[in-house]
Amino acid sequence: MGRVHHAWLFAGPDGVGKETTARAFAQSLLCETPLEGEACGGCLACQKVERGAHPDLLVVLPEARAVDRGLLSREELGRTPSRDLRIEQVRDLEGMLALAPVEAKCRVVLLVGADSMNVPAQNAFLKTLEEPPVGTHLVLLAETADALLPTIRSRCVRVPFAPLPLDLVAERVAEARGVPEQQARLLAALAGGSLGRAMELTTEALEDRARILEELEQLDASDFRPLLALAERIAAGGRDGAEILLDAIALFYRDVAILAEGGSEEMVANRDLLPLLQRAARRGCPAALFRYREAARAREAIERHAVPRLAVERFLIRCVLEEVAP
Ligand SMILES: [Zn+2]
């Protein structure tokens, strides 16, 4: 019983409302007086969900994110907080689910950053996913569903979360800045769908990003000097500058992955760099997703106050070493 639709996979980039939606979904399941499947918003259970204090809503998230949200202190942890969901957390969850719900009839688990679980952790989680205790609803939140094992993906109902409405942002950018539609789309994509940031990106910044991507594509493990020089350039604009460029690099490799998987040219944002995209796509989709993920990680590290230049160097080294790895 309860095997149908007990597990959900909300997949899409950060900042497009995956967790907000998941919490609303949890509220509708835990609400004491739901109306046509919607949470009432007023009962004690609803209020507790809103305050993040409902004992039957379990939110499992990587330690680093818990630290960011002030739910965990570094001192308490006594070591560097992990950016990934750890196998120990998966096992703790299994233990908690073995007990009956505390207040509600069911229990909801949000697995934030589910795609950060390594393979052993995913395999451990698979046990819970295959035979969840009755009344357990699991919601996996992932940026890249592809990082999850097929056995996990196939057991979840997948809900794709689209990025922010880029078309709308692009339209406004084209109007306000008087740039061609294609460039407006690129600006909107580079700004992650933020109109404010899309308005601020300059043409020089676009050209600079193109040169940096070209150099990045030429790096190899035989000589580290160009790599170090490139790291210096990417980090030259400080924390903000490095973050914007790493976003641009991530977007580029997302496009590469799309092309490598046989997607059409209309689907990519970096249409001004098609030859470069196509060349990069020859290395295949996994290589592109690896770089995509590493760029996103470097950006996250900088957000968490890593030294930009070191974070970028680490990213570039991973890129070139991945090339020589078997
Ligand atoms: Zn309610």
Consecutive sets of 10 residues in the chain, 326 residues long: mean pLDDT of each? 65 77 87 84 94 96 92 90 95 94 94 96 95 92 92 87 72 86 83 75 86 95 93 92 90 90 84 94 88 91 92 95 62
Measured in whole angstroms, the distance separating CA 84 from the mean position of its chain's CA atoms is 12
Computed on alpha carbons and rounded to an integer, the radius of gyration of the chain in Å comes to 22
The domains found in the chain, sorted by start residue, are 7-160 (3.40.50.300), 202-324 (1.20.272)
Query: Ligand 1 mean position to 47 CA, how many Å?
Result: 7
Angle CA(152)–CA(38)–CA(126) in degrees, nearest 5?
10
pLDDT for residue 165: 67
Query: Ligand 1 mean position to 44 CA, how many Å?
Result: 7
Q: Which residues pair with 7 in a beta bridge?
A: 138
Query: Ligand 1 mean position to 48 CA, how many Å?
Result: 9
Alpha-carbon distance of 246 to 168, in angstroms, equals: 24
Most distant CA pair in the chain: distance in Å?
A: 65
Distances (CA, A) of 72 to 75, 94, 253, 301: 9, 21, 33, 18
pTM of the model: 0.53
Query: Ligand 1 mean position to 36 CA, how many Å?
Result: 12
By CB atoms closer than 10 A (0-12, 13-18, 19+), residue 179 is middle
Which residues lie near ion ligand 1 (Cβ < 5 Å)?
31, 39-40, 43, 46
Query: Ligand 1 mean position to 70 CA, how many Å?
Result: 27
Query: Ligand 1 mean position to 108 CA, how many Å?
Result: 15
pLDDT for residue 324: 52
Query: Ligand 1 mean position to 1 CA, how many Å?
Result: 25
Helices (H) and strands (E) in the chain, counts: 16, 5
